[in-house]
Amino acid sequence: MKLLENSNLDRLNSVLFTKNDDCRIIGRIESYSCKMAGDDKRLFKVFSHDAPPTDLAALAPPQTILSASPNAGNYSRSLSSADENDNPLSHVCSRKTLYYLISTLNASFRPDYDFSHSKSDEFSREPSVTWVQSFIDNTLGTVLGEHYHRLHSTLWNTVDEEIDLKECNVYSYNPDLECDPFGDEGCLWSFNFFLYNLKKKRIVFFTCKAQSASADDDSGLGRDNLDMSDEEMEYFLGIEEEENSMPIVVE
């Protein structure tokens, strides 16, 4: 997996690295090419020893439904999402796709973690892009309030330009505490989502955690970005937004 440079995502990541009186938010959005080369090819051969890459791997149920996010009880599933979740094919993926998800984790968290032995039931296929967008908006909006409201449209427009949300399947990583890179003391919640565009052979990885303000701070956070004015936010992101810009909505 190759990390793709994107200056707009870099600016978003700076804004997603923030804090308030209650917690610190540490978020990253990264784009990866799924084209294999060198070590990737060797690891894929090892991964393929157990079963062909076209075989299906069983996944866990969608975690956006099961997760206790800060405000998870306040929104309900649509009938279409429920129907999709009842489809047995929504609980599987090809082993090749599973390999891409594991390789993305390795690329994003190296050298501190090795996910090579992660099992398929640590991953889920989520009902839809729209459902995951709502989950992320609800989770970050509850914690960051107006700060996230100002960031919202720019965030999803930037992600859409990079990955084409309408063409994506969404997966999540939900490890046990022993394997969780965010399982340290003081972690209030975390999420790890993969927006996978098969046509582009690309994955956008959105990972985020909330750390208790009382926990030891080794994040290196400096200025509190929550204090930015609208003008400062637009200048910092380097993106001029139209007055009545609308958020991305994926059917």
- Could you give all domains of the chain from N- to C-terminal order, each with its CATH number? 2-213 (3.40.1000.50)
Q: Per DSSP, which regions of the chain are E strands? A: 2-4, 17-19, 23-33, 56-58, 92-94, 123-125, 169-173, 187-197, 202-212
- Distance, in Å, from the CA atom of 99 to the CA atom of 237, rounded to the nearest integer, reads 33
What's the token pair of residue 198?
Answer: 């098969």
Say if residue 179's pLDDT is above 90. no
- Lowest-pLDDT choice from 10-19, 97-106, 123-132, 229-238: 229-238
User: Can you give the pTM of this predicted structure?
Assistant: 0.81
- For the segment 74-80, the average pLDDT, to the nearest whole number, is 38
- For the segment 104-121, the average pLDDT, to the nearest whole number, is 90
Report the mean per-residue pLDDT for the chain.
80
Say if residue 177's pLDDT is above 80. no
Say if residue 139's pLDDT is above 90. yes
Of the pLDDT bands very low, low, confident and very high (cuts 50, 70, 90), residue 47 is confident
Say if residue 83's pLDDT is above 50. no
Q: Identify whether the C-beta of residue 3 lies closer than 8 Å to the C-beta of residue 107.
A: yes
- Distance, in Å, from the CA atom of 229 to the CA atom of 146, rounded to the nearest integer, reads 10
Exposure pattern of 178-198 as b/e (b: 16+ CB <10 Å)?
ebbbbeeeebbbbbbbbbbbe
Positive or negative torsion for Cα 129, 236, 149, 71: positive
Q: Which pLDDT score, from 0 to 100, does residue 73 have?
A: 38
Closest CA to 135 of 182, 219, 77, 199: 77
Say if residue 197's pLDDT is above 80. yes
